[in-house]
């Protein structure tokens, strides 16, 4: 349908208008309407390039001053200007990857199970209610998950869960003597809770779109319920599931508030999940207020630039992979 080409004959004094697949109007008839659209789109293109450019150029002084040690170094030591200050972003980079990595593993495992259960085990009437609820939950702002983490979860870990872990035989050896209320793992868990509705909202639709004939064929060949889900439903929906994963991962990457409240905000080299740490986005938010007027600002912009590279790289990768898989699926 999309590739259909229709030729419509206009009144005799006008040339025929060719309506191609995506309804491209003839270039000859650019009136004020077309120009308005073009100008608005150009404006957006300018904003987008300005966006990338301003973050890049603002971070240049920091890269210029420190070179690659800005990325590979650890520490955050601003000075009053008499001696050169030293900034290292490795803690934040690893913290970002670690928290969102742990979160996405939890979210994908639990989220896929939830989507399968919603689509195949829940009665049809409940299904729509649950689907609406999931989408509403996906719209809850992240600061709400953040306050739940800091006001409920962190005190619980500090006062109840941590002491219990330490009281286990060998607990102190594995978890240390005291479990801080804040940690990378706590941030990761809240991130997982936060991105779960986003993941389920999409994966539920993806799994619901798997043709019923495939499921019935598999079951009629004698496959068990789980074999059908594992070998038919999930492989069929893998492109969409991959898309859902990368979207959720992108949300975890860029999450600022929850991580800034929960990870502890400490710049150090201990990357144990139970240690305190920080992420790129969270560190920018924590530090930005105090950084005014100092050379911390370019270093924070450098953190933003790295975050931007990570985010853009990931969305590029995911569109590539989705396109390739879609092509492979078409071919087979």
Return the residues of window 67-106 that contact other proteins according to CB under 8 A: none
Which of 170, 147, 242 is CA-nearest to residue 202? 242
Q: Where are the alpha helices (DSSP H) in the chain?
A: 32-66, 69-72, 90-120, 124-138, 142-148, 154-156, 162-167, 171-175, 184-208, 212-220, 225-228, 234-236, 238-254, 257-262, 280-288, 296-331
Return the residues of window 228-257 that contact other proteins according to CB under 8 A: 229-230, 247, 250, 253-257
Q: Which is nearer to other proteins, 164 or 312 (CB)?
A: 312
47 near other proteins (CB under 8 A):
yes
Return the residues of window 120-179 that contact other proteins according to CB under 8 A: 120-121, 132, 135-137, 139-148, 150-152
Report, in Å, the least distance between residue 177 CB and other proteins: 26
26 near other proteins (CB under 8 A):
yes
Report, in Å, the least distance between residue 264 CB and other proteins: 13
Annotate 232-288 with DSSP letters as a single string.
IIHHHTHHHHHHHHHHHHHHHHH--HHHHHHSB----S---TTS-B--HHHHHHHHH
Q: Are strands 74-77 and 86-89 parallel, antiparallel or unpaired?
A: antiparallel
* Residue of the chain from 74, 97, 285, 321 that contacts other proteins (CB under 8 A): 285
Contact of 188 with 276, CB cutoff 8 Å: no
Report, in Å, the least distance between residue 33 CB and other proteins: 4
12 near other proteins (CB under 8 A):
no
Stretch of residues binding other proteins (CB under 8 A), selected from 83-91, 192-200, 231-239, 267-275: 192-200
226 near other proteins (CB under 8 A):
yes
Return the residues of window 294-313 that contact other proteins according to CB under 8 A: 300-301, 304, 307-308, 311-312
63 near other proteins (CB under 8 A):
no
């Amino acid at each position: 349908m999309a590739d259909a080409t229709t030729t419509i004959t206009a009144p005799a004094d006008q040339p025929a208008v060719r309506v191609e697949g995506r309804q491209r109007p003839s270039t000859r008839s650019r009136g004020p309407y077309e120009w308005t659209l073009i100008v608005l789109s150009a404006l957006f293109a300018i904003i987008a390039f300005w966006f990338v450019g301003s973050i890049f150029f603002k971070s240049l002084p920091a890269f210029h001053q420190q070179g690659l040690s800005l990325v590979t170094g650890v520490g955050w030591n601003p000075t009053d200007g008499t001696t050169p200050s030293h900034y290292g972003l490795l803690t934040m980079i690893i913290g970002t990857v670690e928290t969102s990595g742990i979160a996405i593993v939890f979210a994908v495992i639990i989220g896929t199970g939830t989507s399968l259960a919603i689509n195949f085990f829940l009665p049809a009437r409940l299904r729509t209610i649950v689907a609406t609820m999931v989408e509403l939950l996906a719209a809850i702002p992240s600061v709400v998950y953040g306050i739940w983490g800091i006001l409920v979860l962190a005190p619980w870990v500090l006062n109840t869960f941590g002491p219990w872990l330490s009281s286990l035989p060998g607990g102190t050896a594995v978890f240390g003597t005291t479990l801080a209320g804040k940690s990378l793992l706590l941030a990761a868990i809240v991130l997982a809770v936060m991105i779960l509705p986003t993941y389920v909202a999409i994966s539920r639709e993806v799994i619901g779109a798997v043709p019923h004939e495939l499921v019935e064929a598999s079951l009629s060949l004698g496959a068990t319920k789980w074999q059908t889900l594992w070998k038919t439903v999930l492989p069929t929906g893998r492109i969409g599931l991959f898309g859902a994963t990368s979207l959720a991962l992108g949300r975890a990457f860029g999450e600022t508030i929850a991580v800034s409240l929960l990870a502890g905000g400490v710049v150090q080299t201990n990357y144990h999940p139970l240690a305190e740490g920080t992420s790129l986005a969270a560190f920018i938010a924590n530090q930005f207020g105090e950084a005014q007027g100092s050379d911390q600002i370019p270093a924070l912009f450098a953190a933003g630039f790295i975050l931007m590279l990570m985010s853009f790289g990931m969305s590029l990768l995911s569109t590539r992979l989705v396109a390739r898989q879609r092509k492979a699926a078409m071919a087979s």
